[in-house]
Amino acid sequence: MKRYIVSLLALCLFSCTERIDINTEASEPHLVIYGYITSDTTRHEIRITRSSSYFATSRPEGISHADVRISSGDSVFVLTENPSEAGLYQTQGHVYGIEGESYTLSVSLDFDEDGAFETYEATSFLPYAPEVDSIDFRDSDLIDKFIEVLLWGRLPEQDENYLSFHIYRNDKQLTSHLEDYFVIDDEYLDKKEIIGISCFYLDQEDEEEDDILEEGDYITVRVDGITKEYATFIENAQSELWGSDPLFSGPPANLETNIQCKTQNAPADISGFFTAFSGRRTSRVYHHQ
């Protein structure tokens, strides 16, 4: 990744003398449910789709007419489908999650269109967010022509802390895809204090990226407090996207999901994840050193 350091894969050359036939027949479609509720006051989203074949070039098909709700105690938020995008369900704009509470997603839909609805559920705890005080920039001593983004803050007083880092340049998020997420746990830090840790490395030579900083750019770093289960899901998903390390390790397993079907004899396998998380932000204007 260009925004932070990852392990390098060794390149190997090999030859095969035996022909291998691989079955590329399309598998049965999976139900995919992915979404979240956060501590921000905004429209929280749940996306429900039907998986496509491996070689498909179109986006997965969105599933309409589902009943989608997020609840915590006596609070129930009903999500409505976005009229411009099938399968995208959103809360009202005034909704926000509360740190320390647990939230349950409930989805009812007719996946196989046989007239009978199936019900799916997942529950996630909403962790406390870290405090974020400030960020700073410096030319990286580790990678030439990269700018290093440093963060100061403090972890919340809870047993386990898993953090997800995101960066914005002039309000445009540079880490909008799962492969760009940067996740650590508090074992990475010696103490509860976050003292100038390097959270991003921005490539200043690749003109095809948005990482190149200009004088006066407004840079924001957001740090989310996430659950251990969601951290594992992100890391496993990235492993699938980037490939195996070492190169010839065993084949990847299916990503684990926290979504369970509550209806017997469900017509499809389930993929995806529902999570709750909290976030804090800090910003700074970039000045060339």
* Structure-block tokens of residue 53: 């074949």
Label residues 70-97 b or e (16+ Cβ within 10 Å = b). bebeeeebebebeeeeebbbbbeeebeb
Inter-residue contact 121 to 104 (CB < 8 Å): yes
> Using one digit for the tens of pLDDT, what is the confidence trace for 194-223?
999 999 999 999 877 789 999 999 999 999
Domain boundaries, the chain: 31-127+256-278, 131-228+281-285
> Using one digit for the tens of pLDDT, what is the confidence trace for 144-184?
999 999 999 999 888 789 999 999 999 899 988 888 888 98
E strand or H helix that includes residue 229: helix 228-242
Task: Map residue 224 onto helix, strand or coil.
Answer: strand
Put residue 74 in one of left, alpha, beta given phi > 0 → left and psi -120 to 50 → alpha.
alpha
> Using one digit for the tens of pLDDT, what is the confidence trace for 1-11?
455 443 333 33
Rounded to whole angstroms, the Cα distance separating 250 from 188 reads: 27
Q: Matching CATH topology for 31-127+256-278 and 131-228+281-285?
A: yes
* Sheet with strand 146-154: strands edge to edge: 131-139, 146-154, 193-203
DSSP line for 64-116: PS-EEEEEETTEEEEEEE-TTSTTEEE--TT----TT-EEEEEEEE-TT-SS-
> Using one digit for the tens of pLDDT, what is the confidence trace for 77-128?
999 999 999 999 999 999 999 999 999 999 999 988 888 899 999 999 999 9
Rounded to whole angstroms, the Cα distance separating 240 from 255 reads: 9
E strand or H helix that includes residue 232: helix 228-242
pLDDT given for residue 5 in this prediction: 41
pLDDT given for residue 264 in this prediction: 80
CATH annotation of 31-127+256-278: 2.60.40
> What average pLDDT does range 12-36 have in this prediction?
64
Single-letter code of the amino acid located at 222: R
252 prior amide bond cis, ω within 30: no
CATH annotation of 131-228+281-285: 2.60.40
Q: If we measure between CA atoms, which residue out of 121, 125, 124, 69 comes closest to residue 95?
A: 69
Strand partners, 163: 184, 225
CB under 8 Å to 157, separation ≥6 — which residues? 192
